[in-house]
Amino acid sequence: MDLGNIFNVILLLGAVSSALLSFYLFFYPTKFFANKVLGTLAFSWAITVFGFMIQSPEFHERFPHTYALLDVFAIMFYPLMYIYLRTYLYEDTRKWKKNMIHLLPGALYLVLFSPFFIQGTDSKALMIKEQSFPVWYLPMQVVFNLVIVAQGIFYSILSLRKLHHFQYFRKVRLTRYQLGSLKWLKLFISLNVVLWLSGTAGFILEVLQVNIDIDLFAVFYLGLTVLTILLGVFTLKRPEFFAEEEDIVKYVYNKSRQNIQEETTSELCDKDLVLSYFEKDMPYLKTDLKMQDLVNSTGLSYKRISEIFNVEFQKSFFDIVNDYRMKTAIDLINRGYHRQHTLLHLAEQAGFNSKTTFNRTFKKYTGQTPTEYIQSVN
């Protein structure tokens, strides 16, 4: 078996895997919108790969209605990638109607090429065999090929900016687990840019009729197939868990309202001020919370805060923090959060910086390990 056949087998396996993964992502778990988007993307890419593999005059003469029709799935790839990223990060974008504008090029392609698509089987097969297309057909194909090239760089840059924008304004509120997810997403987008460069170079060389030893289109298709599968595995392990608003003006407005509320607490006694800070701002959810964070946020001195904990609460700073973290962890378990996420992720969502600390603290407060508690709840 030569290298070409080996490559085709690998690409076919990748396409089949993408198709199977797409159904799993779309139908399970049903409540994650971003999974549905990624499932749609994986299915579109699987069809695109099949179209790449079967492109030959003989096949299209036999099945003329497949000619050019499958290109619409290639046009959908980059917009769906951006929609997936957007809906993964922002809760208020998780509706199709808020993202349909990005799919307009695909709809426009179907409309503009409809005069060709509605041709009868015999007439279309004759066009393909003799390459006697309408005068508008080939120029329109070149235009949409350029659209796909432009989409690659446009949506890759837009995705990277969206990730940077998200992390810049919200970094202080994110757990290590969430920050790790952002790093993985940045890596996926960066690799996608590299593959886009490969595919674009292949397109340019094809237009210029320049032959080289490496099939850049093959690199592009195989690379994106592997990347799509990896992205699917990633989102199964880390389904959407960000609950943020995309509108930064609204976000800043809400933060301003919080600041005003914080100013009104200046009339409270010091103990109530600390309690109010814990209840409203929930600083204990930060895995690296320190006493100095309370000093910076409440305006009280380090000595005064220590006195409040030791004398008025009669507990240490870490005991108070763990009290709140344990209430959060137990509440998450009671709401079934552990069914869609790992215990490590649950622990980090509650503010614990490691699974060992979480297990030890949980055992201390409840007399049971987290697993034992979950079994008792079930």
Highest average pLDDT, of 156-160, 261-265, 374-378, comes from 156-160
pLDDT tens track for 184-211 = 888 888 888 888 888 888 878 877 878 7
Are residue 161 and residue 213 in the same domain, yes or no? yes
Average pLDDT of the chain, as a whole number: 83
CB-CB contact of 45 with 225 (8 Å): yes
Residue 43 pLDDT class (50, 70, 90 cuts): very high
**How many structural domains compose the chain?**
2
pLDDT > 90: percent of the chain: 19
* pLDDT tens profile 47-73: 988 888 877 778 888 888 888 888 899
The predicted-structure confidence for 149-182, as pLDDT tens digits, reads as follows: 899 889 999 999 888 888 776 665 666 677 778 8
Same domain, 229 and 258: no
Break the chain down into helix, strand, coil percent, rounded to 5. Answer: 80, 0, 20
Nearest to 41 by CA among 242, 203, 231, 240: 231
The range of the structural domain enclosing residue 326 comes to 248-377
| Cα distances (angstroms) measured from residue 371 to each of 147, 351, 377 | 52, 18, 10
Q: Please say whether the beta carbons of 155 and 81 come within 8 A.
A: yes
pTM over 0.85: no
The answer to whether position 276 is within a domain reads yes
Same domain, 94 and 163: yes
Residue 242 falls within a domain, yes or no?
no
Query: Do 370 and 358 meet the contact criterion of CB atoms below 8 Å apart?
Result: yes
Residues 223 and 293 in one domain: no
Q: Are 344 and 177 in contact (CB under 8 A)?
A: yes
- Percent of the chain with pLDDT strictly greater than 70: 89
Pair (154, 127) in one structural domain: yes
User: Which CATH number characterizes residue 194's domain?
Assistant: 1.20.1070
